[in-house]
Amino acid sequence: MPGFELFGDAERKEVNDVLENGVLMRYGFDGMRNGHWKAKELEIALQKSFKTKYAQLVSSGTTAVTLALASAGVGAGDEVIMPTFTFVASFEAIMALGAIPVLVDIDETLTLSPKAVEAAITSKTRAVMVVQMCGSMGDMTALQKICHEHKLLLIEDACQAIGGTYNNKPLGSIGDLGCFSFDFVKTITCGEGGAVITNNEQYYTNCDHYSDHGHDHIGQDRGAETHPFLGYNYRISELHAAVGLAQIKRLPEFLYLQKKNYGMLREALSQIPEVVFRTVPEGGEESYAFLNFFLPDLETATQVAQEFKTSGIDGCFHYYNNNWHYIKKWDHLKELKSLFPISAEVRTGLEYLKTKEFLQSDHYIGRNLSCLIKLSWTEEEVKMRANKMVEVIKKVLNT
């Protein structure tokens, strides 16, 4: 991670194919295409890779989450349970539909705590969104059970965990709908892009129409297509899809490199007793996009993170005070700083954030460091990095 590190002839070939063909839009212009349909090809490849019946490409991971919720009917006044540790897109997508994000604690998996989820369910709860952060998953068996018992949707945001599995099922394919991001820093990149996958035909049909202004895509005359319901423009372009088409064919290569580099770093850090690795649920296998570990306390983690930067060890994140990924710094959400008036339902529904504390999340995020695993590292670079990381951690622990 990220896939752009290994851009090469395969990506250039697919992009040049689109440019030479001249049709950059994924729909219409059939006569000019000469049979070139990059987005359709990538959707078929996603279906095969993630063992699902349907895949819908969109313009970003954020629109993928928005589309997944909308396709299942989530909207005004509905509550969607989500984790305190994620990306701001999670609550943005929920609020874009007029629904209410209900943030709950994470556990040692760095994803949703099933106990916290169960405690947050109300008569307004419509969906649970598990975010498979930093390459790994939550306790999917427990979350599936909760959703089944309470008749709730289970939405998987697997944007950071493409290639991970749980009980031999690809992440993203376990819930009612799964979401991926193909932005510039993801394991597979389109530059910008995303996808929704599902086995539910109605959800897929809704995704297909809603992401293209409500077009029903029936017939070969785009101008004559009808609009069964309202929609928006969440389309991906053929140029972006072309890059993704080349990249998904290389996913096994990328996952191999991630696992190899991850394994070398983890083996080195394992010699330090105070380092505890994140919990991966039984039956789960990470995508190995990040190496996540806990240190004894917030102070130690803060100091190690700073020493990493000073020592030139880049790509290791201490999310406790991060503006994008953790509730602690989301003042724009807590204070509802919006360019347009927020609905009374959402404004009232988010009152809890003014006083709510997330002590369990603070406990885990405060002690966690998350280190990006690069694809382009040589074996020698990984060994040097591992030795330097061990040296820094030991130095801080012994001061």
DSSP string, 343-363: PHHHHHHTGGGGT---HHHHH
For residue 279, the 8-state DSSP code is P
Q: Residues of CATH 3.40.640.10 domain(s) within the chain?
A: 3-250
Res. 399: pLDDT tops 90? no
For residues 91-108, average pLDDT: 98
CA–CA distance from 153 to each of 72, 176, 271, 383 (Å)?
8, 6, 42, 44
The C-alpha atoms of residue 199 and residue 55 are separated, in whole angstroms, by 9
335's tokens: 């204070």
The C-alpha atoms of residue 355 and residue 320 are separated, in whole angstroms, by 18
158-206 tens-digit pLDDT:
999 999 999 999 999 999 999 999 999 999 999 999 999 999 999 999 9
Look at the pTM and tell me if it is higher than 0.95.
yes
Whose tokens are 């895509």? That residue is 217
Helix, strand, coil percent content, the chain, rounded in steps of 5? 45, 15, 40
337-371 tens-digit pLDDT:
999 999 999 999 999 999 999 999 999 999 999 99
Q: Residues of CATH 3.90.1150.10 domain(s) within the chain?
A: 252-397
The C-alpha atoms of residue 204 and residue 215 are separated, in whole angstroms, by 13
String of DSSP letters for 58-111: ES-HHHHHHHHHHHTT--TT-EEEEESBS-THHHHHHHHTT-EEEEE-B-TTSS
Query: Which CATH superfamily, name and number, covers 252-397?
Result: Aspartate Aminotransferase, domain 1 (3.90.1150.10)
Res. 220: pLDDT tops 90? no
Say if CB 197 and CB 218 are below 8 A apart.
no
Q: Of 3.40.50.980, 3.40.640.10, 2.40.50.100, 1.10.357.10, which CATH number belongs to 3-250?
A: 3.40.640.10
Whose tokens are 């690795």? That residue is 277
In the chain, the N- to C-terminal Cα span, in Å, equals 34
Res. 1: pLDDT tops 90? no
Mean pLDDT in the chain?
97
13's tokens: 């070939």
For residues 33-50, average pLDDT: 96
For residues 375-380, average pLDDT: 98
